[in-house]
């Protein structure tokens, strides 16, 4: 085992003591896309004692361009991302524990998911779940590393409960649905999440080994223009999460999906949405699927799935009774 990590323990920032600390650590990675796969493969190779990976999705061909641990066999075998990640990484390092969990992380289960975690790493694509992580992190005093990447840019920030501002100090609430670009509408090139995922990994290592020099700013990088900015984030005096009000964890802001009785459809409700602009939504969605709309509803078809969206933000996903799938589609194409 000493041989396996010899090049890392030679580095003074880690050393033998740091390596021992990594070996005694439990890391939780929520979301196993481009960011999640980079962080998972790096931390398992670095000798983190236990890595828990949670993701709700299956692997598709358009994931292989940037989600570095998956391959074509995983798609042929129809493996969920969390399971494929666990299988691949166990071959990389059999001396550590790796646990893949297929689940939709939400306010009903997140406190179970974070049990015994020393740090939470964000591999997500939506702010709804990030603000939920933020709540659970502050409540249970578990540090977390925010990260996001899209197009050619991305950003990351460490949230250390009691020491740094939190994500809710930075963004008061979930951005309005339909207005936030996602990888499914704006695209993404691999190097953007690779760099952000690598920065999240190194911050996680520093936090786990107890290094002093952890980053306390919001770091923004554009790989296309090769620019890097550091922004000072101030604690927001009205931040509910910092004052111990965990509104996302309490479920008050949550997106709800309900299978419609007697119909082969699921309704998704989003209490945060006051009014959707079909005009803006059409502009964004017609790049990826078929859109028709009138003043009452918007019909959107993508990948064999059909959704009907209403101006109040409500959506009905047809031909399924799978609530998790419906939430996922909503998060992917409408927003969170």
Tell the smallest beta-carbon distance from residue 166 to Zn ion (Å): 3
Among 89, 117, 136, 239, binds Zn ion (CB under 5 A): 239
Tell me the number of residues near Zn ion by CB under 5 A. 6
Q: Could you tell me the strand order of the sheet in which 97-102 lies?
A: 97-102, 50-55, 26-30, 119-122, 144-150, 153-159, 218-222, 227-231
- For 47: left if phi > 0, alpha if psi spans -120 to 50, otherwise beta; the answer is left
Residue 242 binds Zn ion (CB under 5 A):
yes
Determine if 130 is a binding residue for Zn ion (CB under 5 A): no
Q: What gap in Å lies between CA 308 and CA 42, rounded to an integer? A: 41
- The verdict on 168 binding Zn ion (CB under 5 A) reads yes
66 lies in the site for Zn ion, by CB under 5 A: no
Of 95, 170, 75, the residue nearest 130 (C-alpha): 170
Q: 231 or 260: whose CB is closer to Zn ion?
A: 231
- Report the chain's terminal Cα–Cα distance, integer Å: 44
In angstroms, give the least distance from the CB of 254 to Zn ion. Answer: 19
Please report whether residue 169 would count as binding Zn ion according to CB under 5 A: yes
Antiparallel, parallel or unpaired: β 26-30 and 50-55: parallel
Angle at 168 between CA 137 and CA 248, to 5 degrees: 65
326 is an interface residue for Zn ion by CB under 5 A: no
CA–CA distance, 112 with 209 (Å, rounded to integer): 25
Shortest Å distance, C-beta 249 to Zn ion: 14
Kindly write out the interface string for residues 190-209 of this chain, putting x where it contacts Zn ion by CB under 5 A and - elsewhere: --------------------
Should residue 26 be labelled a site residue for Zn ion when binding is judged by CB under 5 A?
Answer: no
Stretch touching Zn ion by CB under 5 A, among 23-31, 110-118, 217-225, 236-244: 236-244
Contacts with Zn ion, residue ranges (CB under 5 A): 166, 168-169, 239, 241-242
């Amino acid at each position: 085992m000493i041989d396996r990590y010899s090049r890392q323990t030679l580095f003074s920032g880690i050393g033998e003591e740091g390596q021992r600390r990594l070996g005694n650590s439990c890391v939780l990675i929520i979301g196993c896309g481009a960011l999640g796969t980079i962080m998972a493969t790096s931390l398992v190779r670095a000798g983190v004692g236990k890595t828990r990976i949670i993701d709700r999705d299956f692997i598709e061909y358009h994931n292989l361009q940037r989600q570095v641990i998956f391959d074509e066999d995983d798609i042929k075998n129809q493996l969920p991302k969390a399971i494929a990640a666990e299988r691949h990484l166990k071959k990389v390092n059999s001396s550590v524990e790796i646990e893949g969990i297929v689940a939709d992380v939400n306010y009903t289960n997140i406190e179970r998911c974070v049990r015994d975690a020393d740090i939470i790493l964000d591999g997500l694509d939506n702010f709804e779940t990030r603000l939920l992580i933020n709540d659970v992190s502050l409540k249970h005093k578990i540090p977390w590393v925010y990260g996001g990447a899209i197009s050619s840019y991305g950003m990351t920030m460490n949230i250390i409960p009691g020491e740094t501002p939190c994500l809710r100090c930075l963004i008061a609430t979930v951005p309005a649905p339909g207005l936030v670009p996602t990888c499914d509408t704006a695209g993404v090139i691999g190097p953007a999440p690779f760099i952000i995922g690598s920065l999240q990994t190194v911050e996680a290592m520093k936090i786990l080994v107890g290094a002093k020099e952890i980053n306390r700013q919001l770091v923004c990088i554009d790989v296309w223009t090769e620019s890097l900015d550091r922004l000072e984030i101030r604690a927001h005096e009205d931040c509910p999460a910092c004052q111990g009000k965990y509104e996302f964890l309490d479920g008050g802001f949550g997106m709800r999906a309900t299978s419609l009785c007697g119909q082969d459809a699921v309704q998704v409700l989003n209490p945060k949405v006051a009014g959707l602009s079909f005009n803006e939504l059409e502009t964004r969605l017609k790049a990826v699927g078929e859109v028709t709309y009138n003043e009452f509803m918007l019909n959107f078809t993508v990948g064999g799935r059909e959704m009907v969206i209403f101006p109040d933000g409500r959506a009905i996903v047809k031909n399924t009774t799978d609530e998790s799938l419906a939430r996922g589609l909503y998060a992917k194409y409408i927003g969170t």
